[in-house]
Amino acid sequence: MKTLSDQAIGTAHGKIILIGEHSVVYNEPAIALPFPAANVEVRIKAIEGESKIFSSYYNGPLASTPASLYNLKHTIEMICEDLNADLSGMLITISSLIPPERGMGSSAAVATALIRAIYTFFDYSLDNETLLYYIGVSEKIAHGNPSGLDARITSGTQPVYFIKSQTPETFDIQVTGYLIAADTGLTGQTREAVHDVAQLLKKSKRKTKLLISSLGSLTVQAKKAIEEDDINELGMILSKAHRHLSDLSVSNEKLDLLVQTALKSGALGAKLTGSGRGGCMIALAKSFDQAKHIASELINNGAVETWIHSLGVNTHE
């Protein structure tokens, strides 16, 4: 077994749904962004004896990994078998800044970083197709029937414009500015929110269809604003999308408070991101100083964590 200084590192990042959540269920477009401000690092060090995992959820032998981490255990075992590599002799340390169950792609990002670290540890090259395959293995155990979007975003570097049952389209971020994400501290309520939108569609079909269609149109407009570096227009689009999502009953008091806080603090636009009823919200700022001020005010008004990402480049501040 050949290793690099007896230690290997794999990394990945979170994802943010910029716009189009919920309406994407009804074949409208959505846009998702890589979010490197929230990242994951997996380190694998060579040790004697059986392999062990160190993480915020579990510290102990790989063989005794709890059910909540079975997706990772199975993926490790599968890769080692496919590579004809020894399953023992690894100390696997998982460090994640992505909160789980917030719609930020936490499980896919951890899987991505883990797979990259394993391949580096055993000195094998890893192509993107193989990476996505193993992320899919892990995600199917974690979520049952994943769309594959989280895998693409947490392992990639470009935004994705996607429509259900169509091949996702990557494009470049041209807009100059900063994206702030804030965690409400509440887990997202995906199943409940999706179910309630479906029920709303039955009870108030015309109004709900108009909201869903409008969210789709706003997503198209958002892509155009990004490509034309029009951050002011993008901000207005995001705020309008939040009002539509609120009308669809997928926001809540905490999300609305943080959205209003961001806008009062100078944000160009703000909205919930992901399934809603908890999870995270996002806001746009023109400058880093403005973004820091908005992030500070969000913390002062109940956010438990904030992140700032510089748009248009592959780095963050």
Residue 188: per-residue pLDDT: 78
Taking only the tens place, the pLDDT of each residue in 23-34 is: 988 999 999 999
Q: For the chain, where are the alpha helices, taking DSSP H only?
A: 70-82, 106-121, 128-143, 149-155, 190-203, 205-227, 231-247, 253-264, 288-300
Position 317 confidence tier, pLDDT thresholds 50, 70, 90 = very low
pLDDT exceeds 60 at position 1: no
Residue 4: per-residue pLDDT: 45
pTM to 2 decimals? 0.86
Report the CATH fold assignment for 7-162: Ribosomal Protein S5; domain 2 (3.30.230)
Taking only the tens place, the pLDDT of each residue in 154-193 is: 999 999 999 988 888 999 888 899 999 999 999 877 778 8
Query: Between helices 70-82 and 106-121, what is the axis angle to 10°?
Result: 30
pLDDT exceeds 80 at position 314: no
What architecture is domain 173-310?
2-Layer Sandwich (3.30)
Taking only the tens place, the pLDDT of each residue in 83-120 is: 999 999 999 999 999 988 888 999 999 999 999 999 99
Cite the residue boundaries of each domain of the chain with CATH code 3.30.70.890. 173-310
Question: Residue 16 — φ and ψ, nearest 5°?
Answer: -130, 130
Question: Residue 47 — φ and ψ, nearest 5°?
Answer: -135, 170
Taking only the tens place, the pLDDT of each residue in 212-259 is: 999 999 999 999 999 999 999 999 999 999 999 999 999 999 999 999
Position 12 confidence tier, pLDDT thresholds 50, 70, 90 = very high
Residue 266: per-residue pLDDT: 98
Taking only the tens place, the pLDDT of each residue in 257-305 is: 999 999 999 999 999 998 889 999 999 999 999 999 999 999 999 999 9
Residue 10: per-residue pLDDT: 97
Bridge partners of 49, per DSSP, are none
Mean pLDDT of 16-45: 94
What percentage of the chain reaches a pLDDT higher than 70?
96
Cite the residue boundaries of each domain of the chain with CATH code 3.30.230.10. 7-162
